[in-house]
């Protein structure tokens, strides 16, 4: 007879497996969209220097664009 802790573990494994299956399908769809667009769009917070930051003097947002 399975114990309660074993049943909980089995449920956790099944739930995780289902999430991974559905997530991989969604990721494949997103990858196709990115490839069709021809570029990857990435958003960053204004608190992640050197990618973006606010200038102390006037508070304007400064973005760093990577060189190709």
**How much is the pLDDT for 24?**
62
Taking a C-beta distance cutoff of 8 angstroms, is the pair 57, 63 a contact? no
**How much is the pLDDT for 40?**
81
Site of tokens 């089995």 = 10
The pLDDT tens digits for 25-53 are 666 677 888 888 898 877 767 666 666 77
Domain ranges of the chain: 4-63
Mean model confidence pLDDT for the chain: 75
**How much is the pLDDT for 33?**
84
Distance of alpha carbon 14 from alpha carbon 22, whole angstroms: 12
């Amino acid at each position: 007879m399975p114990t309660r802790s074993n049943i909980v573990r089995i449920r956790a494994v099944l739930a995780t497996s289902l999430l991974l299956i559905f997530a991989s399908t969604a990721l494949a769809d997103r990858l196709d969209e990115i490839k069709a667009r021809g570029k990857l769009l990435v958003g960053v917070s204004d608190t992640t220097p050197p990618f973006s930051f606010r200038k102390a003097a006037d508070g304007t947002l400064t973005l760093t664009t990577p060189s190709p």
